[in-house]
Amino acid sequence: MKRITAVFGVVHGTIAVLFALGALALIFIAARMGYEAVVEGMGLSQAQALIEAIGILAAAVVAFQIAETITEEEVVRDANISAPTRVRRFLSRFFVVVIVALAIEGLVMTFRAVHEEAADLVYAAALLAGTGVLLAAWGYFIYCNRAAEELEPDAMKEAKEEDRKIDG
């Protein structure tokens, strides 16, 4: 069983590296887009290009956050994700980044639609509404699990001690 667990650690580590490499590629793409936009001038189309670059950077942040979460939870801590405290913490870390990225992408879509194709505002509105629903669902999840936090204070204390070890 220990060998199988070690294989899972290697697989998780590989996935985390691939997410980080993808994030780096997105950063370079966004930097290039931003540089080209600024060199071309200071007009509306350049502003749109910069806003799109910011959207790509948001996707890079998501990829890096996923890589960091996988590394910390599955490789460094070798955490048992079935523990309720771990699940709540993992989901919360993930949802923060995803919701922010979706909100930024919704704003990028809105800006683009306003200046290029007004009919696309429906899609931007749908994305932003979906992001709002996801945020509300996450808040409800946290609210419902508050009682579980109170029922397992030892698990929360253990998780906080592990945080201190990782944070140095």
Contacts 24+ apart (CB under 8 A), 85-90: 85/148, 85/149, 85/152, 85/155, 85/156, 85/158, 85/159, 86/159, 88/141, 88/142, 88/145, 88/148, 88/149, 89/159
> Alpha-carbon distance 58 to 98, whole Å?
9
Per-residue pLDDT reduced to its tens digit, 10-59: 898 999 999 999 999 999 999 999 999 999 988 888 888 888 898 899 88
CA neighbor of 55 nearest in space, from 93, 107, 119: 107
Per-residue pLDDT reduced to its tens digit, 99-158: 988 898 898 889 888 888 889 999 999 999 999 999 999 899 888 877 776 776 666 666
Q: What is the pLDDT of residue 77?
A: 66
Residue 135: what residue type? L
